[in-house]
Amino acid sequence: ETGVTQTPRHLVMGMTNKKSLKCEQHLGHNAMYWYKQSAKKPLELMFVYNFKEQTENNSVPSRFSPECPNSSHLFLHLHTLQPEDSALYLCASSQDDQPQHFGDGTRLSIL
Partner 1 sequence: SQQGEEDPQALSIQEGENATMNCSYKTSINNLQWYRQNSGRGLVHLILIRSNEREKHSGRLRVTLDTSKKSSSLLITASRAADTASYFCATAKNDYKLSFGAGTTVTVRA
Nearer Cβ to partner 1 (13/45): 45
The phi and psi torsions of 84 (rounded to 5 degrees) equal -70, -5
* Closer by beta carbon to partner 1, 84 or else 97: 97
Nearest distance in Å: CB 5, partner 1:
10
At closest approach, how far in Å is the CB of 42 from partner 1? 5
Among residues 17 and 30, whose Cβ is nearest to partner 1? Answer: 30
User: What torsion do the CA atoms of 39, 22, 82, 90 make, to the nearest 10 degrees?
Assistant: -20
Residue ranges binding partner 1 (CB under 8 A): 2, 4, 6, 31, 33, 40-43, 45, 48, 50, 55-56, 90, 92, 94, 96-97, 99-105
CB of 53 to partner 1, least distance (A): 12
- Contact predicate 7/22, CB 8 Å: yes
Q: How many CA atoms lie within 13 A of 23 on its CB side?
A: 31
27 in Cβ contact with 101 (< 8 Å): yes
Question: Comparing C-alpha atoms, which of 111, 12, 24 is closest to residue 76?
Answer: 24
Q: Between residues 2 and 65, which has the closer beta carbon with respect to partner 1?
A: 2
